[in-house]
Structure 1
Amino acid sequence: MTGRKSAVGKRRLGQLGEAFAADHLISLGYRIIERNWRCPSGELDLIADEDGVTVFVEVRSRRDTGTFGSPEESVDARKQKKVRETAQYYLYRYRAMERKVRFDVITVLFTTESEFAKLNHLKHAF
């Protein structure tokens, strides 16, 4: 059925992806510190702690349509810079500049019918 709109919109798909990503991290023993943390410089999807390391996680969700490239490719140099700047703001704000940090990317693929298909966790992504 071409032209049929999915029952799940783009925003809701992103929320579902973030929920899957958070559940994945929790299952690995991470502690979720923040979800969708916002400040003047931007937003951080997930902030987690893994054994004393603050992990800033960019989550990308896509339907597996074969168009628009992979979700990993969407975390380009401009997006990485924005996430780094926002993470700096977070660390400064909470006086955590001395903490070890890491930047991960979690991608979540859904079928064209918006059902979960695959999750990929890239540690030390940038």
Structure 2
Amino acid sequence: MTINPKDKQIRPLDGRKARGRLAEEAGARYLQEHGYELLERNWRCRSGEIDIIAKKEGVIVIVEVRSRSVHNEQYGTPAESITPRKIKQLRETAAVYLHKTHQYNESIRFDVLAVQMRRNEVVAIEHIPGAF
């Protein structure tokens, strides 16, 4: 439950946000099971947020987690939901991260984890390395 600061009413958590957190958690576990070291989760700065920052074989991997319900195919796949604007924002945010952490000469890659969900259950994860 959350309290809306404007009206002080208690209301249930937004289902979309809860599903997003579930998808990110599943994505983080997936990466760890596949040999990635998790460096950051939900890293934020003025230009935006990075869902997961990981490292594998000397490469920093910026991961965008996208989720969709399996019965909502009319809106496209999770990976198809990434717009050119989102890509630009992720690149800018990654540049800030690399600068703030003094990792100027590190190799970097942008991956997508496309998570398919049914209700509040993860049914599939598609990993797209070097998505953009």
Match of 1:58? 64
Q: TM-score, normalised by structure 1?
A: 0.90
Say yes or no: does 1:13 pair with 2:19: yes
* Pairs aligned (count): 119
| TM-aligned CA distance change 1:68 to 1:40, over 3 Å | same
SS at match of 2:26: helix
Match of 2:7? none
SS at match of 1:22: helix
Match of 2:5? none
Moved more, 81-90 or 113-122: 113-122
Pick 1 or 2: higher relative contact order, CA cutoff 8 A, min separation 6: 1
Question: What amino acid is aligned across from residue 106 of structure 2 in structure 1?
Answer: R
Following superposition, the deviation at residue 8 of structure 1 comes to: 7.6
SS at match of 2:41: strand
CA distance in 1, matches of 2:14, 2:117: 11
Say yes or no: does 1:96 pair with 2:99: no
SS at match of 1:57: strand
Question: What amino acid is aligned across from residue 87 of structure 2 in structure 1?
Answer: Q
Say yes or no: does 1:86 pair with 2:101: no
CA distance in 1, matches of 2:76, 2:65: 15
CA distance in 2, matches of 1:103, 1:116: 22
CA distance in 2, matches of 1:40, 1:106: 23
Larger radius of gyration, structure 1 or 2? 2
CA distance in 1, matches of 2:103, 2:131: 21
CA distance in 2, matches of 1:8, 1:23: 23
Q: TM-score, normalised by structure 2?
A: 0.86
SS at match of 1:67: helix
Q: Is the 8 A contact 1:22 1:46 kept in 2?
A: yes
Unaligned runs of 5+ in 1: 1-6
SS at match of 2:22: helix
Q: Which digits, 9 at most, give the CA deviation of each residue in 1:31-53, with x for residues without a partner?
A: 00000000010000000010111
Q: Which digits, 9 at most, give the CA deviation of each residue in 1:14-70, with x for residues without a partner?
A: 001001111011001110000000001000000001011100000001111222111
Name the % identity.
43
SS at match of 2:75: coil
| TM-aligned CA distance change 1:8 to 1:43, over 3 Å | closer
